[in-house]
């Protein structure tokens, strides 16, 4: 059967993608950021997952503010990189996994999650930057990807607890799929940042580091963080961290932390990254 063996979370800062695309990864400003992912790239080459369930938020590429689903799942054969105003990123088309995606959609809906099913969708930096961080600049992506979009742009977003339970439901659905697949789940976005208003540029390192720590030390506490606390402590865009809880909920009660990285700044945000494995699985 298919199984989620591990998961990771990472920021998906658009400027990271631009730095890679423009050949600036070795520049003094960016080199410490990319160094934080070197361990994961080596680990990923060893793990070789078949499918990645990639949780991210759209940035007005697939959805405008007149229609924003709370949860959506991409069931297409492939996903073309979106033009976000300065041309699409020069990265490969993202291969989908429509059979597993259709199974997940059915299971999640029967589990009382109202998923919007997307049979065609362009994907923006929220999805392609994490792929670039984990696999580098490649001619084709080495995994199939099932995108799951979460509304964190228009009030009200789902609660962290709801996202956690979606992760649990995803894990159950994957385990019921009758094919031997190595599946990973990624949560992306965050960490603390605010892009507008009087607090533009806010970064709360204490909140970020505690959040990273509690993914293993006290994950249940993360389920109780309210929308207001996210805004107050991590800025208006810090709400993206609820997507990390989908990843964490899918891994079950006990996990092993394999790698952690935190860096300030990258553009005008903090960069966070963590790799977790379901406890008891062999490397």
Give pLDDT tens digits along the chain (283 positions).
Answer: 899 999 999 999 999 999 999 999 999 999 999 999 999 999 999 999 999 999 999 998 999 888 999 999 999 999 999 999 989 999 999 999 999 999 999 999 999 999 999 999 999 999 999 999 999 999 999 999 999 999 999 999 999 999 999 999 999 999 999 999 999 999 999 999 998 899 999 999 999 999 999 999 999 999 999 999 999 999 999 999 999 999 999 999 999 999 999 999 899 899 999 999 998 765 4
Return left, alpha or beta for 105; rule: phi > 0 is left, psi -120 to 50 is alpha, else beta. Answer: alpha
59 is catalytic: no
| CATH code assigned at 177 | 3.40.830.10
Whether 98 is in a domain gets the answer yes
On whether the CB atoms of residues 185 and 251 are closer than 8 A, the answer is yes
Does 104 map to a domain? yes
Our answer to whether residue 193 is catalytic in this structure is yes
SS (H, E, C) 90-124: CCCCEECCHHHHHHHHHHHHHCCCCCEEECCCEEC
Residue 144 belongs to what domain range? 3-278
What is the predicted pLDDT for the residue at 268? Answer: 87
Comparing C-alpha atoms, which of 57, 68, 55, 113 is closest to residue 244? Answer: 55
Q: What is the pLDDT of residue 283?
A: 45
In a domain, 36, yes or no: yes
User: What does residue 163 show for φ and ψ, rounded to 5 degrees?
Assistant: -65, -40
Radius of gyration of the chain (CA): 17
Residues 12, 103, 193, 273: which is the catalytic one?
A: 193
Structural domains in the chain (count): 1
Contact status, residue 75 vs residue 96, Cβ threshold 8 Å: yes
* 7 falls within a domain: yes
Task: Confirm if 79 and 145 have CB atoms less than 8 A apart.
Answer: yes
- Residue 215 in any domain: the answer is yes
pLDDT at position 281 is 65
Residue 283 lies in a domain: no
Q: Across the beta sheet with 182-188, what order do the strands follow?
A: 116-118, 71-74, 144-150, 51-56, 182-188, 3-10, 269-278, 255-266
Is this prediction's pTM over 0.85? Answer: yes
> Does residue 118 lie in a domain region?
yes
Distance, in Å, from the CA atom of 77 to the CA atom of 232, rounded to the nearest integer, reads: 40
Single out the catalytic residue among 12, 46, 59, 125. Answer: 125
Residue 169 within any structural domain of the chain: yes
């Amino acid at each position: 059967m298919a199984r989620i063996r591990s998961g990771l979370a990472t920021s998906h800062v658009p400027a990271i993608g631009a730095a890679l695309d423009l050949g600036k990864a070795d520049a003094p400003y960016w080199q410490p950021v990319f160094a934080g992912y070197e361990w994961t790239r080596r680990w990923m080459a060893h793990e070789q997952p078949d499918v990645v369930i990639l949780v991210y938020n759209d940035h007005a590429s697939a959805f405008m503010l007149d229609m924003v689903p709370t949860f959506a799942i991409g069931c297409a054969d492939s996903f073309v990189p979106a033009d976000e105003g300065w041309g699409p990123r020069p990265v490969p088309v993202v291969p989908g996994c429509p059979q597993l995606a259709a199974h997940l959609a059915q299971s999640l809906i029967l589990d009382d999650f109202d998923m919007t099913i997307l049979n065609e969708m362009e994907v923006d930096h929220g999805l392609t930057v994490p792929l670039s961080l984990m696999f580098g600049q490649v001619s084709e992506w080495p995994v199939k990807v099932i995108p799951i979009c979460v509304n964190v742009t228009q009030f009200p977003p789902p609660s962290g607890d709801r996202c956690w339970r979606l992760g649990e439901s995803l894990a159950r659905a994957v385990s019921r799929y009758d094919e031997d697949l190595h599946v990973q789940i990624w949560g992306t976005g965050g960490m603390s940042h605010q892009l507008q208003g009087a607090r533009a540029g806010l970064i709360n390192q204490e909140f970020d580091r505690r959040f990273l720590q509690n993914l293993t030390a006290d994950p249940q506490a993360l389920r109780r963080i309210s929308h207001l606390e996210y805004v107050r402590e991590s800025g208006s865009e810090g709400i993206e961290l609820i997507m990390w809880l989908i990843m964490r909920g899918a891994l079950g009660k006990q996990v092993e932390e394999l790698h952690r990285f935190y860096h300030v700044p990258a553009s005008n945000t903090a960069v966070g990254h963590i790799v977790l494995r379901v406890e008891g699985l062999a490397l």
